[in-house]
Amino acid sequence: MAATGGQWFPADWPDRIRAIARGELTPVPPRRAATVMLVRDGTEGALEVFLLRRRASMSFAAGAYAYPGGAVDPRDAASGHTARPPGPDGDGGAEAAGGADEALVLAAVRETFEEAGVLLAGPSPDRLVTDVTGQDWEADRADLVSGRLAFGTFLARRGLVARPDLLGHWARWITPEFEERRYDTHFFLAAMPAGQRTRNASTEADRVLWLRPADAVAGYERGELPMLPPTITTLRDLAAFPTVGAALAAARGREVTPVMARARVEGRDVVLSWPGYEEFERRGTAVDNRGQNR
């Protein structure tokens, strides 16, 4: 990967931007995805967020700090596995998750369990599991990761329902058109469940940590914690809230607008910018396979 300070960018993005501008490259349709910002009130009372560092061997965002998350599994779209607690409009569960559909909710809950060992589900709409340790839970988690087990089947077998009311819809970022792997990612906020604990359950990460958002932002600005634009942006948002309760209250009324980078060609340069986020703008010169400037 190529990094500027704490900012991560693919090394081949200038060439791909030019290829799309010339009509030589068709953008890949983005896959729907969900990621979860797990938060807790730390020992000193300040809000902390859970982060993992992607392994250097990963083909996407290698070495970058991120939240647990991943693409929607087509099997996540199956209905009947998500709690719908009563609400003024009759579907309080869906509304509490920002109106996200069941596939996104289940993807968010599944990925958090797969990558952090935390399960946002319970035997009823008002209850949560408190212990997901043990060999039987780990065997199920491994089967979910490998795809041998569908998440809906896992929930049904254990008599559980996912809890969308615990998810606050926070942000939505779409991978730029020039990327080889593209995602339409919904970011959700969730409080760490009492009685459960996080761990590095993912084979995609080599480090996990809890940090105050302001400390994570400072690490990024020092160039010590590489991050993609969505991660650092959401961390800056979270830094404004002193407690989990304050952040969750803000999530309930939060307006979510999709954000996607735009690329343009200016002479021999290509420019990548995120509307509304000028700090991420980057300019580069494409080089062909012979090492010559185009």
Residue 180: predicted pLDDT: 85
Q: What is the pLDDT of residues 116-135, one digit of tens each?
A: 999 999 999 999 999 999 99
Residue 58: predicted pLDDT: 67
Asked which of 64-68, 104-108, 112-116, 251-255 is least confident by mean pLDDT, the reply is: 251-255
Of the chain, the percentage scoring pLDDT greater than 90 comes to 55
Residue 97: predicted pLDDT: 64
Q: How confident is the model at residue 11 (pLDDT cuts 50, 70, 90)?
A: low
Of the chain, the percentage scoring pLDDT greater than 70 comes to 84
Residue 3 confidence (pLDDT) above 60: no
Residue 253 confidence (pLDDT) above 70: yes
Q: What does pTM read for this prediction?
A: 0.87
Residue 114: predicted pLDDT: 95
Q: What is the pLDDT of residues 37-65, one digit of tens each?
A: 999 998 888 999 999 998 876 666 778 99
Residue 5 confidence (pLDDT) above 50: no
Q: How confident is the model at residue 98 (pLDDT cuts 50, 70, 90)?
A: low
Please give, one letter per residue, the 3-state secondary structure of the chain: CEEECCEEECCCHHHHHHHHHCCCCCCCCCEEEEEEEEEEECCCCCEEEEEEEECCCCCCCCCCEECCEEECCHHHHCCCCECCCCCCCCCHHHHHCCCCCHHHHHHHHHHHHHHHCCCCEECCCCCCCCCCCCHHHHHHHHHHHHCCCCHHHHHHHHCCEECHHHCEEEEEEECCCCCCCCEEEEEEEEECCCCCCCCCCCCCEEEEEEECHHHHHHHHHCCCCCECHHHHHHHHHHCCCCCHHHHHHHHHCCCCCCEECEEEEECCEEEEEECCEEEEEEEEECECCCCCEC
Residue 9: predicted pLDDT: 57
- On average, the pLDDT of the chain sits at 85
Which domains occur in the chain, in start order?
28-257 (3.90.79.10)
Q: How confident is the model at residue 16 (pLDDT cuts 50, 70, 90)?
A: confident
Mean local confidence (pLDDT), 150-166: 94
